[in-house]
């Protein structure tokens, strides 16, 4: 039950403002938090509390007071970041409370984790030693690792970080399973040690856990050891494989193969909008994603903000990854030493390890939507047949900066330059009502389309234009009246001119328009040729009609219903 209490308490702290009184930010109004019999149990029940038990008559307590006050001031930011609090109990006034807590001397420092006392601190009471204790213990608490049992640490680590970090089956009890279920989908094998089918399944189940590493937690419950719990879940046969998700569960009744069971579990993975991660997951995520979102939460993150982020990212779940974390070590890894004023949504684009965009909360729905739409693609994307519709026909009415580059090593340098321009725009460019996306194409391969649609000739590569797809218009002239060049200042000038309505757009020719124009030109050419060469035109028409009649005659000789010639013969099949 201890793990369950930790999970429920931490979840509550994640999703709502801490209800306990907080230390005022203004140093002039700063007061040390005092606990009494009336508020002690309710206060320390949630979070990590370092409590000083003291007596006003104690000379050591009076000597320690400046150090305690300085620590309380310097570490108050951890309330929001890690759920850590500092408080005092005056044992002269609260003698019964101190006696009940086993206090034998003053000052005595005790850490309480979700209401449970940890061993009393017996180290040096210097500022540096206590500051290290606070930093270390608050980090462990925020990461779900402040537990005595190694098995409990393993379960909580999987429950509060990226799922199934080691790709193995976790043997859990009731409280351990609650921790895992509270953090996302869990595939569970309810088994009995004496069951032959269970023994046969186990190697396959362990292989399945390996294939689902970092994707979904895979657990097992021994129904001999936890008979009442299995009966509570109506387990009637062994092995029973069950997928727990949200407040419901689904039994797996298909073939016991790794492929089939993985396909069953993967359906649950697809429904997770925000996957919880820790610092150690971050490097792998950067390497495996061209772009992704990371929602950094604090212990006072508002539930409304969390739901707003989930709602906005839900439609993009299959096109871009999204993660969430409250790990203090990840904050440090991202050069965020202290928590920001509020929770934040960060946007990343490979190969950058630092965010290309940050949105602090609270944020309006419009601001959140603009931010997500701006960063839903990598800083620079390749325009292809598969994403052409999504980019050029987007309902977001995005502005597209299209760069046409050479092939090979020369083109790679040009793409890097265009990516630098795109990164500079994302970090410091003007905020448009619609997003601005930077894309590139192989200018040699798509030379005909580029020339037809945007007037970009092969000899002018590398080239760039700013496109307004909804209006089928493009811009290739700067505010200064010069042709846009393949550099940042020139591109920024075009974007500024577009925003200010200073520039006159050109009409981009769609494929349909190009096809219609080509057909019209062909008819005009043929008409002109027939006037110049009437005899040649006559024989051309006669020849075309004769060829059509011959083709029609040959095809009508076959009966499509019977598959054989009308004159007889056998079927080919």
- Going residue by residue through the chain, which has 573 residues, state the pLDDT in tens, using 9 for 90 and above: 444 444 444 444 433 333 333 333 345 557 899 999 999 999 998 888 999 999 999 999 999 999 999 999 999 888 887 889 999 999 999 999 999 988 888 999 999 988 888 877 888 889 999 999 998 888 888 876 655 555 555 666 665 667 888 888 988 888 888 878 877 789 999 999 999 999 999 999 999 999 888 888 899 999 989 988 888 888 888 999 999 876 788 888 888 899 889 888 887 766 667 888 888 888 888 888 889 999 988 887 888 898 899 999 988 877 888 988 888 888 888 877 555 557 899 999 888 888 888 898 888 999 999 899 989 889 999 988 888 888 888 888 889 999 999 999 999 999 999 999 998 888 777 778 888 999 999 998 888 889 989 999 989 999 999 999 888 899 999 999 999 999 999 999 999 999 888 899 998 865 444 444 444 344 434 445 555 566 666 666 566 667 666 665 665 544 433 333 333 333 223
321 within some domain: yes
Note whether 381 and 448 are same-domain residues. yes
Torsion, Cα of 331, 332, 335, 337 (10° steps): 90
Note whether 200 and 313 are same-domain residues. no
Note whether 558 and 521 are same-domain residues. no
Number of domains observed in the structure of the chain: 5
Residue pLDDT, tens place only, 43-72: 998 888 999 999 999 999 999 999 999 999
CATH number reported for the structural domain that contains residue 27 in this entry: 3.40.30.10
332 within some domain: yes
CA distance 16 to 300: 6
Question: Whole-structure pTM over 0.75, yes or no?
Answer: no
Note whether 306 and 263 are same-domain residues. no
Note whether 11 and 131 are same-domain residues. yes
Note whether 221 and 186 are same-domain residues. yes
Of 139, 124, 38, 131, which is closest to residue 84 (Cα–Cα)?
Answer: 139
Note whether 69 and 24 are same-domain residues. yes
Strand 357-360 with 344-349, pairing: antiparallel
State which of 355, 375, 395 marks the end of a domain. 375
Residue pLDDT, tens place only, 190-227: 999 999 999 999 999 999 999 888 888 899 999 989 98
Note whether 498 and 390 are same-domain residues. yes
State which of 344, 375, 406 marks the end of a domain. 375
Note whether 371 and 381 are same-domain residues. no
Note whether 388 and 370 are same-domain residues. no
151 within some domain: no
209 within some domain: yes
CA distance 442 to 512: 22
338 within some domain: yes
State the number of CA atoms in the 13 A half-sphere of 309 facing the CB.
Answer: 28
Q: Helix %, strand %, coil % for the chain, to 5?
A: 45, 20, 35
Note whether 78 and 169 are same-domain residues. no
- Whole-number Cα distances in Å, 441 to 372, 411, 451: 24, 10, 13
410 within some domain: yes
Structural domain range at position 563: 533-573
280 within some domain: no
414 within some domain: yes
Note whether 324 and 230 are same-domain residues. no
408: region left, alpha or beta (phi > 0 left; psi from -120 to 50 alpha): left
**Residue-level pLDDT at 541:** 59
Question: Are 97 and 36 within 8 A, CB to CB?
Answer: yes
Residue pLDDT, tens place only, 83-102: 899 999 999 999 999 999 88
């Amino acid at each position: 039950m201890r793990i369950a209490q930790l999970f429920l308490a931490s979840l509550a702290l994640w999703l709502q403002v801490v209800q306990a009184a907080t230390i005022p930010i203004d140093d002039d109004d700063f007061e040390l938090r005092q606990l009494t019999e009336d508020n002690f149990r309710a206060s320390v029940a949630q979070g990590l509390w370092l409590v000083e038990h003291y007596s006003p008559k104690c000379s050591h307590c009076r000597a320690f007071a400046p150090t305690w006050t300085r620590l309380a001031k310097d570490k108050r930011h951890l309330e929001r970041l890690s759920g850590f609090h500092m408080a005092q109990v005056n044992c002269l006034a609260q003698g019964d409370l101190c006696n009940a807590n086993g206090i034998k001397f003053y000052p005595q420092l005790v850490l309480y984790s979700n209401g449970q006392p940890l061993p009393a601190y017996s180290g040096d009471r210097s500022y540096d030693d206590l500051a290290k204790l606070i930093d270390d213990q608050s980090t462990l608490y925020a990461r779900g690792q402040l537990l005595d049992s190694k098995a409990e640490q393993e379960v909580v680590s999987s429950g509060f970080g990226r799922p199934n970090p080691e790709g193995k089956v976790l043997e859990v009890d009731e409280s351990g399973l609650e921790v895992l279920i509270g953090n996302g989908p869990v595939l569970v094998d309810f088994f009995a040690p004496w069951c032959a089918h269970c023994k046969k399944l186990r190697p396959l189940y362990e292989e399945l856990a390996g294939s689902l590493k970092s994707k979904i937690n895979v657990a097992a419950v021994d129904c001999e050891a936890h008979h009442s719990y299995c009966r509570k879940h109506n387990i009637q046969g062994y092995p029973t494989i069950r997928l727990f998700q949200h407040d419901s569960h689904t039994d797996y009744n298909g073939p016991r193969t790794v492929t089939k069971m993985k396909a069953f579990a993967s359906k649950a993975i697809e429904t997770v909008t925000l996957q919880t991660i820790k610092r150690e997951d971050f490097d792998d995520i950067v390497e495996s994603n061209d772009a992704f979102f990371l929602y950094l939460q604090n212990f006072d993150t508002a539930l409304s903000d969390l739901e707003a982020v989930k709602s906005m990212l839900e439609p993009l779940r299959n096109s871009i990854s999204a993660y969430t974390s409250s790990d203090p070590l990840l904050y440090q890894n991202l050069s965020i030493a202290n928590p920001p004023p509020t929770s934040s949504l960060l946007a990343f684009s490979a190969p950058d390890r630092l965010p290309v965009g940050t949105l602090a909360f609270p944020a309006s729905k419009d601001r959140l939507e603009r931010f997500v739409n701006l960063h839903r693609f990598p800083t620079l994307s390749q325009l292809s047949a598969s994403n052409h519709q999504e980019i050029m026909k987007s309902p977001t009415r995005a502005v597209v900066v299209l760069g046409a580059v050479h092939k090979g090593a020369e083109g790679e340098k040009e793409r890097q330059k265009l990516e630098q321009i795109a990164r500079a725009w994302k970090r410091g460019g003007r905020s448009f009502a619609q997003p601005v996306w930077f894309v590139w194409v192989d200018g040699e391969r798509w030379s005909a389309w580029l020339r037809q649609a945007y007037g970009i000739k092969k000899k002018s590569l590398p080239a760039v234009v700013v496109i307004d797809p909804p209006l089928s218009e493009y811009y290739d002239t700067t505010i200064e009246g010069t042709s846009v060049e393949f550099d940042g200042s020139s591109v920024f000038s075009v974007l500024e001119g577009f925003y200010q309505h200073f520039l006159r757009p050109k009409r981009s020719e769609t494929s349909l328009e190009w096809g219609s124009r080509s057909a019209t030109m062909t008819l005009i050419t043929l008409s002109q040729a027939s006037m110049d060469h009437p005899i040649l035109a006559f024989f051309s028409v006669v020849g075309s009609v004769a060829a059509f009649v011959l083709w029609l005659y040959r095809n009508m000789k076959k009966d499509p219903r019977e598959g054989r010639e009308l004159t007889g013969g056998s079927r080919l099949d």
